[in-house]
């Protein structure tokens, strides 16, 4: 039989890296499985101002700082996309596209992915002016007019970031009040490059054969209009990355994984943490907090079943 891990952590974002750290420091055999670069969503954040201990830190730098100590405590890293998990009698099986792993426990920390608007032009112009990542693509739009769609923390914070490059950023929001934290709202209202279009939805993204040129909008009074722009950044919330776990029946109807306060799903030995979890506050601090709880709970669970 192949190696048996005490715990496999799926996803190396803030939540998964912390769970791996806490499990490894309990002297467990830990595998951290990731399909991309360690750090997850943090790699797409230009500046983090609300992680205690750092007045301001770049997301990519915080990712590195979290990942570095893992090797010291013996965490094994592997790359791969988890396709399925099986809960068998004694062990649990984690299946990637080219590997099958055996483990006693699993911590799911796969995060969430940006929602699509599902409007005309969104697929056609993806990568040709439509983006879901300001830090990745913002610099392509120097002195250009941009549209940001959404009214939460992501939309407003990323619109502020985009003003470093763009000549003007118009935030289009479907209601008349933002959902974003007050401090972020105030910064946007004070930014001369940011304009707001309230009670308005984008119906269609249009362009020529090379790139986006305009969006067609409609307001609550049913008045339609078009606005010229070179880029459209869409930040309308997140969907959980939980497809590989749907067979386990541990999610709600929208795919968020349900746990108790100790991060336990309803399957003994399977835990879930971070953005993929059903919860109200999706932050690095909460991801890290949940990672530490899961790390300790894995240890306690193994003590219980092995002694």
Could you give the C-alpha distances from 80 to 32, 77, 291, in angstroms and in order?
A: 10, 10, 21
Out of ligand FAD, ligand NAP, none, what residue 7 binds, judged by CB under 5 to 8 A for its kind, is none
Strand-pairing partners, residue 108, are 10, 272
> Would you put residue 245 in left (φ > 0), alpha (ψ -120 to 50) or beta?
alpha
For residue 151, CA distances in Å to 15, 128, 235, 282, 289 come to 25, 23, 8, 16, 27
Residue 134 in tokens: 């300001």
> For this structure, is 229 an active site residue?
no
The listed partner (ligand NAP, ligand FAD, none) that binds 14, CB under 5 to 8 Å by sort, is ligand FAD
Phi, psi of 149 (to 5 degrees): -110, 130
Catalytic residue among 6, 98, 136, 229: 136
Among 3, 37, 47, 50, binds ligand NAP (CB under 6 A): 50
Among 8, 42, 180, 234, binds ligand FAD (CB under 6 A): 42
Q: Report the nearest approach of ligand NAP to the CB of residue 72 (Å).
A: 29
Q: Is 82 in the site for ligand FAD (CB under 6 A)?
A: yes
Q: Does 168 bind ligand FAD (CB under 6 A)?
A: no
d(CA 176, CA 188): 15
Output 269 or 274, the one with its CB closest to ligand FAD. 274
Distance CA 240, CA 86 (A): 19
CB half-sphere exposure, 50, CA atoms < 13 A = 11
Instruction: Determine the Cα–Cα distance for residues 64 and 59; give it in Å rounded to an integer.
Output: 9
| Residues 102-161 contacting ligand NAP, CB under 6 A | 117, 149-155, 157
Picked from ligand FAD, ligand NAP, none, the partner binding residue 145 (CB below 5 to 8 A depending on kind) is none
Q: Is 175 in the site for ligand NAP (CB under 6 A)?
A: yes
Count Cβ atoms below 10 Å from residue 70 Cβ, excluding itself: 20
In whole angstroms, the minimum distance from the beta carbon of 216 to ligand FAD comes to 25
DSSP state of 257: B
By CB under 6 A, name the binding residues for ligand FAD: 10-16, 33-36, 40-42, 44-45, 48, 50-51, 81-82, 109-111, 154, 157-158, 241, 244, 274-275, 282-285, 287
The residues that touch ligand NAP, with contacts defined as CB under 6 A, are 50, 117, 149-155, 157, 174-175, 179, 201, 235-238, 282-283
Residues classed as catalytic: 133, 136-137
């Amino acid at each position: 039989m192949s190696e048996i891990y005490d715990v496999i952590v799926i996803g190396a974002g803030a939540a998964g890296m912390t769970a791996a750290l806490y499990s490894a420091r309990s002297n467990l055999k830990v595998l951290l499985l990731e399909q991309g670069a360690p750090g997850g969503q943090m790699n797409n954040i230009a500046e983090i101002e609300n992680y205690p201990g750092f007045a301001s830190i770049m997301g990519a730098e915080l990712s590195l700082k979290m990942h570095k100590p893992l090797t010291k405590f013996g965490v094994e890293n592997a790359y791969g996309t988890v396709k399925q998990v099986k809960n068998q009698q004694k062990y649990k099986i984690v299946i990637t596209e080219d590997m099958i792993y055996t483990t006693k426990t699993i911590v799911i920390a796969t995060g969430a992915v940006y929602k699509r608007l599902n409007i005309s032009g969104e697929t056609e112009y993806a990568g040709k002016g439509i983006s879901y990542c300001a830090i990745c693509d913002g610099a392509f739009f120097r002195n250009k007019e941009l549209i940001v769609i959404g009214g939460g923390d992501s939309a407003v914070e990323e619109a502020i970031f985009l003003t470093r490059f763009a000549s003007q950023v118009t935030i289009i929001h479907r209601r008349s009040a933002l959902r974003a934290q007050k401090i972020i709202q105030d910064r946007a209202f004070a930014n001369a490059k940011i304009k707001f279009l309230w009670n308005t939805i984008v119906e269609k993204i249009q362009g020529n054969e090379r790139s986006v040129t305009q969006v067609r909008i409609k307001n609550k009074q049913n008045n339609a209009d078009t606005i010229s722009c070179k880029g459209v950044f869409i930040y309308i919330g997140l969907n959980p990355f939980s497809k590989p776990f749907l067979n386990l029946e541990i999610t709600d109807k929208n795919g968020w994984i349900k746990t108790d306060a100790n991060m336990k799903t309803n399957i003994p030995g399977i835990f879930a943490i971070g953005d993929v979890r059903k919860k109200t506050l999706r932050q690095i601090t909460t991801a890290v907090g949940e990672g530490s709880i899961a790390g300790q709970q894995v240890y306690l669970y193994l003590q219980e079943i092995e002694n």
